[in-house]
Amino acid sequence: MPMQILNLFAALMLLLTFAMLGQRKIMTLIQLFVLHGLMVVASAILIAYQTHNHHLYYSAALTFAVKVVVIPLILRKLLLSLSVKREVDPLVNVPTTMLIGIVLVIIAFNLAIPVAALSSSIASGTLGIALACIFLSFMMMLVRSNAVPQVIGFLSMENGLFFAATAVTDGMPLLVELGVALAVVGGTLVVGLFMFQMREHFDDLNVRNLEQHKEE
Amino acid sequence: MADLRLMDCIFGVAVGWLAIGICGLLLIRHTRFVARVLFPLSALVGCVLGFAGIVSTFGQIQTSLLPIGLPNLPFHVRIDNLSSYFLFVQGIVTTGVSLFSAGYFSREEDTPAGLICLEYHLCIASIVLLLIADDAYAFLFAWEIMSLTATALVVAHHKDPEVRYAGYLYFLIAHIGAFCLLFCFGLLGINTDDYAFASIRLQRPDLMVGSFIFFLALFGFGAKAGFLPLHIWLPEAHPAAPSPISALMSAFILKTGIYGILRVSLDLLPIQVWWWGGIALAIGLATALFGVVLSAVQTDMKRLLAYSSIENIGLILAGIGLSILFKAYGMYALAALSLTAALFHVASHAAFKSLLFVGTGSVLHSTGERNLGRLGGLMRFMPWTAWAALIGSLAASGLPPLGGFVSEWLLLQSFLLTPGLPNSFLNMLIPIATATIVLVGALAAYVMVKFFGVIYLGQPREQKLNDAHDAGVWERIGFSWLVIACVGLGLFPVHVVQALDRVTHLLLGDGIGNAVAASGWLQLVPDTSERASYMPVVFLVVLLACCIVAYLLVRHVYHVKTRRSGPWACGFPIMNARMQDTAEGFGQPIRHVFGPFFRMERTLPSAFDKKPVYKIKIEDPLWAWFYRPIAAITEFVSSIVGLIQQRRIAVYLLYTFLTLMFLLLVINQ
Amino acid sequence: MFATWNSIRKNDVDIILLLVLATPLIGSIILMLAGHRGVAPELNAGLSLITFVASAFLAANIVANGPSTFFSHYFFLDSLNVFIAGLTAFVGLTTALFSRPYMRVERDAGRMTKVRMRLYHSMYQLFMFTMLLALLTNSVGIMWVALESATLTVLLLVSIYRTAASIEAAWKYFILSGVGVALALFGTVLLYLAAARHFGGDADALMWTNLQMAKSYLEPGIMAFAFVFLLVGYGTKMGLVPMHSWLPDAHAEGPTPISAVLSGLLLNVALYAILRFKVLMDGALQNGLPGKMMVGFGLVSALVATFSLSRQKDVKRMFSYSSIEHVGIMTFTFGIGGAIGTYAGLLHMAMHSLVKSAIFFSVGHACQKAGTQIMSDIRGLLKVSPTVGWGMILGPLAILGLPPFGVFSSEFLIVTNAIREMPWAVPLLLLALGVAFATIISRIQMMVFGEPTVRPLAHSPALLPVFAHLGLALLFGLYMPPYLNEWFVKAVHVIIG
Amino acid sequence: MSAYYEFFSQALEMVVALAAAPLLTGWVNQCRSWLQNKTAPSLFQPHRMLHKLFTKEAVIAETASPLFRLEPYIIFGCMTLACGIIPTLSTSLPLSPAADAIALVGLLALGRVFLALAAMDIGTAFGTLGARREMFVAFLAEPALLMVLFSVSLITRSTSLTAIVYDLTHRPLAIYPSLAFAGIAFTMVLLAENARIPVDNPATHLELTMIHEAMILEHSGRNLALMEWSASLKLYAYLCLGITIFFPWGIPDTGHPFGLILALPILAAKLAVGGILIALIETASAKLRIFRVPEFLAMAFLLAVVGMLVHFLLGA
C-alpha cells in the first residue's frame, strides 16, 4: 500500500516538473514549485514513517520550511517589488521543449534501471522518476532566459536530488542532510541578494543582458 | 696534479663562473669594476677550462654524482674525451670573448653591465654542466638554462622591437627543440629508471624506434645548431645580441647542438643505419649552400656573419653525416677521418667566427653603424681591428696557412679516399657532395672578400667614420688571443688531430692518430704520405721566404722611389666614396646566379619619378614556405577553439549536459 | 625542529586540528564585524599565519606518526590531505600578505567601500575554512557541503566590485558551479547507495576510511555511475574543459587575491576530491576506467586551454586559461597513475599552486600600476619597478616549465612517464606545452620590455609573497629536501594503495 | 747526396719558372699576332717591359692602406711557391709533401683574394668592379679546378702532385675517359683564371669588359712589374699543372743529372705547344658577356663532375 502512494507522489512530481517546464507565467510557476516541494516533503514523511527513520522527519521539516515557505516568499516579494515583466520568454517554443522532455525521461528511465535493481529500499522504483526530474529541471534552466525561472529550475533540480536521496537510500545521515539543507538555503539567500544587484544594474532580470561582456 | 681529479677542476670552473656572475649582480651599478675585474677574471677561468679540457682529452674517463636534482634523479656527471674536447674549445672561445667583453662592456649600455655579466656567466656555466652531463635530466636541465640565459643576453638592448622579436623567436625555436629532445631522451631511456646515459647505452632499441630517436635528436639539436629548416632565428638573434654575446653564440652555443647530435647518434644509439648518415649529409650540404648564398647578399655585417655560421654548421653536419654513413658500412677508419674533419672545423670555426664577430663589435662601438652601406675605409682609422679581421676573414674563406683550410682539406680527403660504397646510389652522391662542399668553400671566399673589402678597405662612405677610434686595450688582447688560436690551429693541426684521435677512438673505435703521429708534428698525413700530406709550417715559411726575397731583391737591384698622388681611376677627375661598390652591388652576381634561393622584392625607379628610389629587400624563402603557414594554422585552430566561448550560459550548461550523457553512454557499454 | 614537535602526545593533535579549522571560522565572524577597520588586513594575515603554523604542526605530526582519524571518524588525516592542507594554509597566508597593499590601493581608488572590505575579509576567511574542512573531513557528504559553501563564498567575492561584468561572471559561476555541485551530490548519493548495501544505513557508510577498506566489495555498476557524476560535478569545480567556461570570467572580474587563491587552491581541493574517489573506484572497478576518463579529460583540457590562450586580451583571463591547462596536465598524469606519475602529479600540484599564485600577485600589482588589465596597454614594467617586472618575468618562465624551477622537474617526470605508459598522448601534450609557451612568452615580453606606459603606486608592492613562492619553486627544482620527498612518497602510497 | 740534388732541382725549377714565365707570355703574344697576320713583338718583350717598370717610379694613391704596399710581394710569393710545388723538372721535390693539389688550389685562391682586396683598397669604381668580377669568376672556376684534380686523384689514389706524376708515368698507356672530360674542363678553367679571351681580354683597358686589368689599374712602377710577372707566373703554373696531370711523360723521378738536363727541353717543347694551343683558342673565340661567363664555367664544372661520375661508373 505505501509503495503505491509513493509511486503516486513520484508520478505527481514528474507531472509538476513537466507543468513547470511548459508554464508561461512566473507567478504560477512559483505556485507549481511550491506543490513540487510539497510532494517531496510528503514522500519523505511517508518513507520516514515506513522505515521508522526519525532524522528523516527533521530533514522533511527543514525542506518544508525552506522549499515550501521561505523561498517562494522571497521570490514572490522579489517579483512584486521589482515589478518586472511577468512573462517567461522561452528560448525554444513549448512543443519542442515538451518533446525533448519526453526523450530525456526515456533516457533517465533506462539509465536508472541497473541502479534501481540493486537498491534495497522500498522506493527503488522511483529512482528513474527522480533522475527524470533532475534532467527536466536541468533542461528548464537551459531554455529559460529570465533569472527567476532559472533559479526555480535550479531549485527543482535540488528537489529532485533530495527526492532521489530519500527514495533510493531512505535518507542520508542527518549531518549530511543538515549540510545539504543549509547549503540550499544559503544559495537561495545569495541568489536573492543577487537579484537585487541585477535589477539595480539592468533594471530587468533578463539573463540576455548578462551576455554582453566580450569574453576576449 | 695527478691526484687533483679533473672533475673537481671542471666543477671549480663552473662554480667560479657562477660566483663571478653573482658578484656581478651584486655590484650591478659599478660598471667599470665589472668590466675591468670580473671579465678578465672569467677569461682566466676560461684558460683553466681550456687547459683542463686538453689534459682530460688525453686523460681517462671520470664520472661522479651531483647532489642536486630530484632524489631518484641526481645529476650524473661524466668527462669523456668527446666532452673534454668541447670543453677545450669552450675554454678558448670564452677566454677570448671575456677578454673582449672587458673592453666592450666598460661603456654604459641600457642593460647594466652587472646583469649582462650574470647572464653571461650563468650561460657559460650551464654549457659546462651540459657538456659533462651524463643523464637525460641533467642534460635537459643545462640545455634549457643555456637557452634561457642566451635569450636574456640577446634581448639586452630590449628598447627596440626587432631585438625583442629576435629574442622571442630564438627562445621559441630553442624551446620547441628542447621538447623534441625531451621526447627523444624519453624514448631512449624508456626502460631505464634513472635515464642515466650509462644505462641508456645498454639499451638495444629496434630499428624503427632508433630511427625515430635519431630524427627527433636531429630536429631537436638542429633547432639549436641551426640546420636548414630551423635556422630562421639565427640571422635575427645573432645581430640583435651585443657583439661579444653573438660571438659566443656563433662560436660555441651552435656547437652544443653538434655535441648533442654526436652524443646521441654515435654514443647513445648502438646501431647506425646508412640512410641516417645520408639524410644528415644531405641536410648538412643544403644548409651549407643555403647559408653561404644568403650570406653573400646581406647588407648588415652581423647578419652576414650569422648566415656564414649557418654555412659552417652545415659543413660540420655534412662531416658527421659522412662518418655515420661510413660507420654504418663498417669503414671505421674513414668514419674517423670525416669525424676528425668535422670536429676540427668545430674548433677552427669557433676561433675565426668569434674573431670576426668581435671585430664587428669594435666597429659597431666606434662607428655605431651595422649597415655595410655606411661603412668603409676603416683600415686607416682602426688598424688593429682591421688586421685581426683580415686574419679572421682569411681563415673563414679556408685559405691554406690558417685553420679554416685544414678542416676543409680533411673533409675533402675523407670524400676522396672512399674506396666506393657498396650502395651504388651513394656512389653517385659522393661526387655531388664533394662538388657542393668545394662550391661552398669558394663562395665563402667571395663572402669574406666582400665583408672585409666593404668594411675596412676603400674610402669611408660616411663623414662620421673619420673620427672612428680603434679598439681599446682589453679588446686588443681579446683580438690577439683569438688570432693566436686561429693561426695556431692552422699551423699545428697535428697536435689537434692527435687530441681528436682520442675522441674518434671513443666514438668509433678507430682513428687516424697513428698515421698522423708516424709522420711527425710537422706533417699532417691522414693515411699515407704518398696519398696526401700537408705541412702548414713549411708552406708558410717558404711563402714568407719568397715574399721577403722578392722584397729585398726589388729594393736593392732597383732604386726606391715612391710618390703619393691621387688615385688614377682611368683618369676620371671627380672621385667620391659613393662611386665604390656597395654591399648590394658586390652581392649582385650571386643574386643573379642563385635567383631562386631567395624571395626578392625590388622597387625600381621609373623614368618619370621626381624622386627615384631603388629599394631591394631580400627575404629568407623559408619564412613563406615553412613558418608563416605554421603560424596561420595555429591561428586558425585557435579561432576554432575560440568558438567554444559562446557567451551564453545556456550553451555552457548544454556542454555539461552533453558530457554527462556521453560519459553515461560510455560506461553503459 | 620538526622532530621535537611531533613527539607531543596524540590527543594534543585533536586540539591542533580544532585550531586549524576554528581559526578561519572564528576569524570570518570577527572580520564580518571589524572588516572595514584599517587593521583588518593585518588581522586577516595574522589569522592566516595561525592557521598555517597549526597546519604545519599537524603535518609534521601526521608524517611522523602516520595517518589517523579524529573526532569520532569525522576527520581523517593522512599524508595526502595534510600536505595539501599545509599548502593551502601557506598560500592563504601569502595571499593575505599580498592583499594588504592590494586592498589598500583598491580602497584608495574607491573601488572598495567599507561594506565591501568587511565582506571581502570575512568571506576570505570563510573560504579558507571551507577548503580546509573539505580537505580534512573524512565524510564524503561533509566534503560536498564544504565545497558547496566554498562555491557560495567565491560567488560573493567574485561579484564584490558590483560592475556589470563581475555580476555576469558571478551569475555564470553560480549557475555552472551550482549545477556541477548538484551533480556531485547525486554522485555522492549513488556512492552512499552502493556503500549502504555493505555498511547498513548508518553514518559511517559515507566515511572515506570505511569505504577505502571495503572498496573491493562495492558494487561496480553503481560505482561507475557514481564516478561519472562525481567526475563531471567536481570536474566543473576544477575547470576541466567542457565545463570550464566560468573559470576565466571568475578570475578576470574578481579581485586578484581571489584569482590567486581560486586557481592556486580551489582547483587543488577539487582535484583532491576526485583523487579520493579515484582510489575507491580503482578498488571497485578493476578495469582502470576512471584513469582513462581522467586522461581523456586532461588531454582535452590542456589542448583547448592552450589554443584559446592566444585569443585573450586580458592578462588575468590568459593566466586562468593557463591554470586550466595545468589542471588538465595534472588530471592527465593522475589518470595515468603509477608511482612516478602520481609523484609527478603531486609535485606539479604543489609547484602550480606556488608559481601560479606568485604570477597572480605580480599581475595584480602590474594591473594596478597600469590601471588596466588589457595586455596591450601594459608596457615597460621592468623600467618602472624592477621587482614587479622581474616577478612578471620569472613567474611565467617558471610556470612554462623552465629548468631552475620545480615545474621543469615535474613536467620532465610527467612526459617521460607518459612516454613509457601512453606514448601516443605525448605529442599532443608537447604540442599543448609548446603553444602555451609561444603565446605566454610573446605576451609577457611585450608587457615587461619597451617604453613604460606604467606609473608607480602609492603603496609599495608586497614582494615577500612573490619571491617566497618563486624561491620555494627554485628549491624544489634544484634540490628536493629528503624530508619533503618522504612526505610525497607517503602521499603517493595513499593514492596508489 | 740525393738531398743536395733535391734542393738543387727544386731551386732550379723555381729559377726556370721565374725566367721562363715572361717568355711564355711573350710566346703566346707572338703566336696570337701571327695568327692575326700582325708582325709579332719580340719574344723578350715582356722581359723588357718588366725591366722598364722596375726602374720607373712607383706612384701610390693617398687613400692606399699598408695592405696595398705589401700585396704585390705576397702575390708574387704565392705564385713562385705555386711554381715550386708543381713538379715540372723532377718528381722528388722537398716542397712536394708541404702541399698537395688541394693546397695548391688554396694557394692560388690566397693569391687571388689578396689581389681582390688590394683592388678594393684604393676605393675607386674600377678596382671594386674588377674585384667583384674576379671573385665571381673565381667562385665558379675554383670548384671546377678542384673537381678536375679530384678526378685525377681518384685514378691515382693520391692527391699529392708528385705521386700523381709518378703513378701516371708508370701506368701502361691507356685511354681514361674521365681524364678526357677533366682535360676539357681544365682548359676552360685555365682560360677563365688567366683572364684569356673567352672570359676576359688580357690586353684590353676597356672599362666595361676588363676583369684582371681593372684590379691592377692602380699599380705602377715596381708594383705593376711584380703584378705582371705574377700574372705570367700564374699562366706558367697553370700550364705546368696541365702538363703534370695530362702529359706527365718525360718528367724524371730519381735525380740523376742527365735526366734533369733532358727534362728542360721536353718542358720547353710542351710549353710551346701549350702556348700555341692557347693562342689558337683565343683567336678562334670571341669574348663572352659577363653574365654568359657563369654558363661557360658551369659547363666546365659539370664536365669535371661528369668526369668523376664516369670514373665511379667505369672504374677508370
How far apart (Å, rounded) are the C-alpha atoms in residues A73 and A67? Answer: 10
β partners of residue C76: C69
Mind giving me the DSSP string for C298-328?
A: HHHHHHHHHHHHTT--BHHHHHHHHHHHHHH
**Number of Cβ pairs < 8 A linking chain B and chain C:** 144
Grid cell of B348 as nine digits = 677552427
Q: Look at chain B and count its residues.
A: 669
- pLDDT at residue number C6: 47
Q: Report the interhelical angle of C164-199 vs A174-202 (nearest 10°).
A: 170
Where would I find the beta strands (DSSP E) of B575-662? 599-603, 615-619
* Chain D meets chain A (3+ C-beta pairs below 8 A): no
For residue B314, the Cα-to-chain-centroid distance in whole angstroms is 10
How far apart (Å, rounded) are the C-alpha atoms in residues D22 and D15? Answer: 12
**Residue C453 belongs to a domain:** yes
- pLDDT at residue number B340: 92
How far apart (Å, rounded) are the C-alpha atoms in residues B49 and B54? Answer: 9
Q: How far apart are the first and last CA of chain C?
A: 30
- pLDDT at residue number D9: 84
Burial environment of residue A185 by CB neighbours within 10 A (0 to 12, 13 to 18, 19 or more): middle
- pLDDT at residue number C94: 92
For residue C136, the Cα-to-chain-centroid distance in whole angstroms is 15
- pLDDT at residue number C116: 85
Residue B309: name the closest of B368, B362, B374, B246 by CA. Answer: B246
Contact A176 C167 (CB under 8 A): no
pLDDT mean across residues, chain A: 76
* Of residues D238 and A191, more confidently modeled: D238
**Residue C342 belongs to a domain:** yes
Q: Are B644 and C248 in contact (CB under 8 A)?
A: no
Closest-CA residue of B relative to D312 is B427
Instruction: Please state the φ and ψ torsions of residue B529, each to the nearest 5 degrees.
Output: -65, -25
B312-363 confidence digits (pLDDT tens): 999 999 999 999 998 998 888 889 999 999 999 999 999 999 999 999 999 9
Contact C415 B182 (CB under 8 A): yes
User: Mean pLDDT over residues A75-80, rounded?
Assistant: 77
B266-292 confidence digits (pLDDT tens): 888 888 888 899 999 999 999 999 999
- pLDDT at residue number B220: 94
Q: Is C408 on the interface with B (CB under 8 A)?
A: yes
Burial environment of residue B246 by CB neighbours within 10 A (0 to 12, 13 to 18, 19 or more): buried
Which of B647-656, C288-297, C338-347, D237-246 has the least mean pLDDT?
Answer: B647-656
Task: Quickly count: other Cβ atoms within 10 Å of residue B165's Cβ.
Answer: 16
Task: Quickly count: other Cβ atoms within 10 Å of residue A27's Cβ.
Answer: 12
Assess whether pLDDT exceeds 70 at residue A170.
no
Q: What percent of chain B has pLDDT over 70?
A: 99
Assess whether pLDDT exceeds 80 at residue B528.
no
Grid cell of B463 as nine digits = 663623414
Enumerate the residues of chain A whose CB falls inside 8 A of the CB of residue B653.
Answer: 138, 141-142
Task: Quickly count: other Cβ atoms within 10 Å of residue B393's Cβ.
Answer: 29
User: Mean pLDDT over residues A51-77, rounded?
Assistant: 80
How far apart (Å, rounded) are the C-alpha atoms in residues C419 and C427? Answer: 9
- pLDDT at residue number A90: 65
Contact B532 D160 (CB under 8 A): yes
Grid cell of B436 as nine digits = 657542393
3-state secondary structure chain A: CHHHHHHHHHHHHHHHHHHHHHCCEHHHHHHHHHHHHHHHHHHHHHHHHHHCCHHHHHHHHHHHHHHHHHHHHHHHHHHHHHCCCCECCCCCCHHHHHHHHHHHHHHHHHHHHHHHHHCCCCCHHHHHHHHHHHHHHHHHHHHCCEHHHHHHHHHHHHHHHHHHHHHHHCCCCHHHHHHHHHHHHHHHHHHHHHHHHHHHHHCCCEHHHHHCCCCC
Enumerate the residues of chain B whose CB falls inside 8 A of the CB of residue A90.
Answer: none
* Of residues B83 and C68, more confidently modeled: B83
Assess whether pLDDT exceeds 80 at residue A192.
no
- pLDDT at residue number C397: 92
User: Mean pLDDT over residues C134-140, rounded?
Assistant: 88
Assess whether pLDDT exceeds 90 at residue C300.
yes
D8-55 confidence digits (pLDDT tens): 888 888 999 999 999 999 999 999 999 989 898 888 999 999 988 888
Question: How far is residue C461 from each of residues B47, B439, B618, C456, C458, measured CA to CA in Å?
Answer: 45, 61, 48, 10, 9
* Of residues B8 and B429, more confidently modeled: B8
**Interface mutation vs chain C, best among B660, B661, B666, B668, most C CBs within 10 Å:** B660
- Give the model's confidence band at B1: pLDDT under 50 very low, under 70 low, under 90 confident, else very high: very low
Q: Chain C, 165-194: which have a CB under 8 Å from a chain B CB?
A: 171-172, 175-176, 179-180, 183
User: Mean pLDDT over residues C410-421, rounded?
Assistant: 91
Grid cell of C190 as nine digits = 549513488
Q: How far apart are the first and last CA of chain B?
A: 73
* Of residues C375 and A196, more confidently modeled: C375
User: Mean pLDDT over residues B175-184, rounded?
Assistant: 93
Instruction: Please state the φ and ψ torsions of residue B317, each to the nearest 5 degrees.
Output: -65, -35
Q: Is C245 on the interface with B (CB under 8 A)?
A: yes
Contact A118 C159 (CB under 8 A): no
Closest-CA residue of D relative to B412 is D102
Residue B79: name the closest of B134, B139, B146, B15 by CA. Answer: B134
User: Mean pLDDT over residues A21-43, rounded?
Assistant: 85
What's the complex ipTM? 0.87
- Give the model's confidence band at C334: pLDDT under 50 very low, under 70 low, under 90 confident, else very high: very high
Among B645, B648, B664, the residue with its CB nearest the CB of A111 is B664
Assess whether pLDDT exceeds 80 at residue A195.
no
**Residue C389 belongs to a domain:** yes
**Residue C320 belongs to a domain:** no
Burial environment of residue A54 by CB neighbours within 10 A (0 to 12, 13 to 18, 19 or more): exposed
DSSP C370: H
Q: Which residues of chain D have pLDDT under 50?
A: none
Question: How far is residue B42 from each of residues A129, A215, B106, B118, measured CA to CA in Å?
Answer: 79, 52, 15, 11
* Of residues B29 and B254, more confidently modeled: B254
User: Mean pLDDT over residues B304-309, rounded?
Assistant: 94
Residue B326: name the closest of B277, B363, B369, B292 by CA. Answer: B277
How far apart (Å, rounded) are the C-alpha atoms in residues A79 and B161? Answer: 58
For residue C170, the Cα-to-chain-centroid distance in whole angstroms is 19
Assess whether pLDDT exceeds 50 at residue B3.
no
Task: Quickly count: other Cβ atoms within 10 Å of residue C326's Cβ.
Answer: 28
Assess whether pLDDT exceeds 60 at residue B150.
yes
Enumerate the residues of chain A whose CB falls inside 8 A of the CB of residue C194.
Answer: 118
Enumerate the residues of chain C whose CB falls inside 8 A of the CB of residue B142.
Answer: 403
Enumerate the residues of chain B whose CB falls inside 8 A of the CB of residue C478.
Answer: 68-69
Assess whether pLDDT exceeds 70 at residue C409.
yes
Q: Is B420 on the interface with C (CB under 8 A)?
A: no
Enumerate the residues of chain B whose CB falls inside 8 A of the CB of residue A141.
Answer: 650, 653
User: Mean pLDDT over residues C164-168, rounded?
Assistant: 82
C457-487 confidence digits (pLDDT tens): 767 777 788 888 889 888 888 888 888 888 8
Q: Looking at the complex, report in whole angstroms how far the Cα of residue D50 sits from the nearest Cα belonging to chain B.
A: 12
SS3 D59: strand
Assess whether pLDDT exceeds 80 at residue C12.
no
How far apart (Å, rounded) are the C-alpha atoms in residues C81 and C269? Answer: 9
User: Mean pLDDT over residues B380-407, rounded?
Assistant: 91
How far apart (Å, rounded) are the C-alpha atoms in residues B523 and C72? Answer: 90
Which residue is listed with cell 537498491? A119
- B126 CB-side CA count, 13 A: 24
> D240 Cβ partners below 8 Å, 6+ apart?
D17, D83, D86, D88, D267, D271
Closest-CA residue of C relative to B663 is C228
**Residue C379 belongs to a domain:** yes
Q: Are C391 and C298 in contact (CB under 8 A)?
A: no
Grid cell of B346 as nine digits = 668545430
A39-62 confidence digits (pLDDT tens): 888 888 888 887 777 777 877 888
DSSP C450: S
Grid cell of C373 as nine digits = 588589465
**Residue C411 belongs to a domain:** yes
Helix (H) or strand (E) holding B49: helix B39-58
* Count: domains in chain C: 1
What amino acid occupies position C324?
I
Q: How far apart are the first and last CA of chain D?
A: 39
**Residue C179 belongs to a domain:** no
Provide Rg for chain B, Cα atoms.
27
DSSP C479: B
Assess whether pLDDT exceeds 80 at residue A123.
no
Domain with C464, as residue range(s), is 334-497
Q: Are C437 and B179 in contact (CB under 8 A)?
A: no
- pLDDT at residue number B256: 94
Closest-CA residue of A relative to B648 is A211
Assess whether pLDDT exceeds 80 at residue C108.
yes
* Of residues B629 and B597, more confidently modeled: B629
Q: Report the interhelical angle of B424-456 vs D125-156 (nearest 10°).
A: 160
Q: Which long-range contacts (CB under 8 A, 24 or more apart) does C211-220 make?
A: C211/C140, C211/C280, C212/C279, C212/C280, C212/C283, C215/C279, C215/C280, C215/C282, C215/C283, C215/C284, C216/C283, C216/C284, C218/C194, C218/C280, C218/C283, C218/C284, C219/A118, C219/C194, C219/C284, C220/C284, C220/C285
Q: What percent of chain B has pLDDT over 90?
A: 38
Q: Chain B, 163-192: which have a CB under 8 Å from a chain C CB?
A: 164, 167-168, 171-172, 175-176, 179, 182-183, 185-187, 189-191
A97-119 confidence digits (pLDDT tens): 878 888 888 888 777 777 666 65
Domain with D184, as residue range(s), is 2-314
**Residue C134 belongs to a domain:** no
Q: Looking at the complex, report in whole angstroms how far the Cα of residue B260 sits from the nearest Cα belonging to chain C.
A: 18
Among D107, D121, D207, the residue with its CB nearest the CB of B400 is D107
How far apart (Å, rounded) are the C-alpha atoms in residues D63 and B250? Answer: 34
User: Mean pLDDT over residues B564-589, rounded?
Assistant: 80
* Count: domains in chain D: 1
Q: Report the interhelical angle of B113-132 vs B254-261 (nearest 10°).
A: 10
- Give the model's confidence band at B108: pLDDT under 50 very low, under 70 low, under 90 confident, else very high: low
Provide Rg for chain C, Cα atoms.
21
Q: Is C437 on the interface with B (CB under 8 A)?
A: yes
* pTM, full prediction: 0.90
Q: Are B379 and B389 in contact (CB under 8 A)?
A: no
